[in-house]
């Protein structure tokens, strides 16, 4: 199942320092294991080629033009051959190191729409609407405005209900936690049909569990009020496996 696509028109990758108005994304892996970030934009080339390896303790800096929108997630348990073909336990995207299309759910997502000529604000969030696989935080650096921290510091795999759990067939450990929509595919959990508006789609016991654990992350489709963040003129630090000290 591919991730639903929410926010996004365009992106270009530039060398650092080439254009003063670009936004710098610093992607930092604080997990104790390697992750393979996947990046997807709506138009044009994907940042970082769409995917790469990031070992524990490593970070990388990438830049995007004004008006860029896109999403980023961590893939785990990947095995790629020298040509970049392979698969991952979670977040797999087309069987390629450089993502082809969206990732497979469940994954934790960071989503961005950067300021353009029509708006002076960036919009960003961390979303659990498509489930959870790895803790993630987004911190605005040097911006003006609310510039809230967005993210999920808690390890939801530890407390994932059995009916939502995704396990590794070899180790039998929980590697991801599904959304209730993916698990049950009902209008109530998916915010579709008679539940397709903010007035008719309310939090459920599962989205409330996610929200209580990660109050600054999206927990269901209409969780906008406490989960969409804004900032102007900022760069962003995106951290996999953040801690409370990273806020």
Give all strands (DSSP E) within 106-173, no chain letters.
Answer: 109-113, 122-127, 136-141, 150-152, 165-167
Token pair, residue 180, equals 């209730």
With beta carbons less than 8 A apart as the criterion, state whether 90 and 106 touch.
yes
The domain segmentation of the chain, as residue ranges, is: 23-246
Q: Residue 87 has what pLDDT? A: 94
pLDDT given for residue 191 in this prediction: 92
Strand boundaries in the chain, DSSP class E: 23-29, 36-41, 59-64, 69-75, 79-80, 86-87, 109-113, 122-127, 136-141, 150-152, 165-167, 174-177, 229-231, 235-240
Q: For residues 91 and 241, what is the distance between their CA atoms, to the nearest angstrom?
A: 15
Burial class of residue 21 in the structure, from the number of CB atoms within 10 Å of its CB (0-12 exposed, 13-18 middle, 19+ buried):
exposed
CATH class given for the domain over 23-246: mainly beta
- The predicted structure's pLDDT at residue 159: 92
Q: What is the pTM of this model?
A: 0.87
Q: How far is CA 36 from CA 66, 87, 134, 206, in A?
A: 25, 11, 11, 28
pLDDT at residue 234, rounded to an integer: 96
Query: pLDDT of the chain along its 247 residues, tens only?
Result: 444 444 333 333 333 333 347 999 999 999 999 999 999 987 556 899 999 999 999 999 999 999 999 999 999 999 999 999 999 999 999 999 999 877 899 999 999 999 987 678 999 999 999 999 999 999 999 999 999 999 999 999 999 999 999 999 888 899 999 999 999 999 999 999 999 998 998 999 999 999 999 999 999 888 877 688 999 999 999 999 999 877 7
pLDDT at 102: 78
Q: What angle do CA 127, 244, 111 make, to 5 degrees?
A: 20
Tell me the backbone φ, ψ of residue 37, rounded to 5 degrees.
-55, 140
Q: Say what the pLDDT of residue 14 is.
A: 35
- HSE-up of 158 (CA within 13 Å, CB side)? 5
pLDDT for the residue 43: 54
User: Structure tokens of 131?
Assistant: 């489930």
pLDDT for 19 equals 39
Q: Which of 235, 212, 242, 237 is CA-nearest to residue 144?
A: 235
What is the per-residue pLDDT for 118?
66
- d(CA 81, CA 224) in angstroms, rounded, equals 40
């Amino acid at each position: 199942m591919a991730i639903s696509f929410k926010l996004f028109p365009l992106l270009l990758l530039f060398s650092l320092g080439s254009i003063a108005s670009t936004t710098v994304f610093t992607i930092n892996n604080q997990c104790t294991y390697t992750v393979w970030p996947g990046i997807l934009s709506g138009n044009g080339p994907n940042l970082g080629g769409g995917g790469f390896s990031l070992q524990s303790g490593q970070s990388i800096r990438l830049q995007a033009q004004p008006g860029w929108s896109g999403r980023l997630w961590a893939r785990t348990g990947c095995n790629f051959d020298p040509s970049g073909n392979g698969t991952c336990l979670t977040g797999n995207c087309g069987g390629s190191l450089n993502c082809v299309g969206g990732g497979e759910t469940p994954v934790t997502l960071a989503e961005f729409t950067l300021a353009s000529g029509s708006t002076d604000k960036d919009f960003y969030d961390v979303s659990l609407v498509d489930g959870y696989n790895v803790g993630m935080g987004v911190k605005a650096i040097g911006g003006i405005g609310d510039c809230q921290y967005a993210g999920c510091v808690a390890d939801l795999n530890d407390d994932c209900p059995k009916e939502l759990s995704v396990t590794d067939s070899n180790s039998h450990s929980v590697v991801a936690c599904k959304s209730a929509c993916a698990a049950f595919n009902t209008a109530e959990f998916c915010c579709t049909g008679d539940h397709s508006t903010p007035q008719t789609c309310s939090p459920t016991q599962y989205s409330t569990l996610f929200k209580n654990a990660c109050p600054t992350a999206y927990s269901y489709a209409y969780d906008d009020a406490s989960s969409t963040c804004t900032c102007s003129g900022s760069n962003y630090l995106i951290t996999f496996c953040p801690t409370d000290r990273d806020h």
